[in-house]
Amino acid sequence: MHNTGNRTDAVRLTAVRKVYGRRDNQVVALDDVTTRFGRGTFTAIMGPSGSGKSTLLQCAAG
């Protein structure tokens, strides 16, 4: 796998997938999300309601 990280990253997300619910009631909130946030940088997470912004931040927070 390609290594997207380096020591200047504050947070790295690699192929993150988050599914709520189970079986016939599943919602795929995040599907293969890979990104990074550099130290000392400012990032705005934007998108329509339900696009997964809060889920992304919850996963990034560990």
Local structure of residue 46 (DSSP, 8 states): -
Among 38, 40, 47, 45, which residue's Cα sits nearest to residue 11?
38
Which one among 9, 11, 14, 55 touches ligand ATP, defined by CB under 6 A?
55
Smaller CB distance to Mg ion: residue 35 or 55?
A: 55
For residue 24, which phi and psi values (nearest 5 degrees)?
A: -80, 5
With CB under 5 to 8 Å by kind, the binding choice for 50 among ligand ATP, Mg ion, none is: ligand ATP
Residues forming contacts to ligand ATP in the complex (CB under 6 A) are 20-21, 27, 29, 47, 49-55
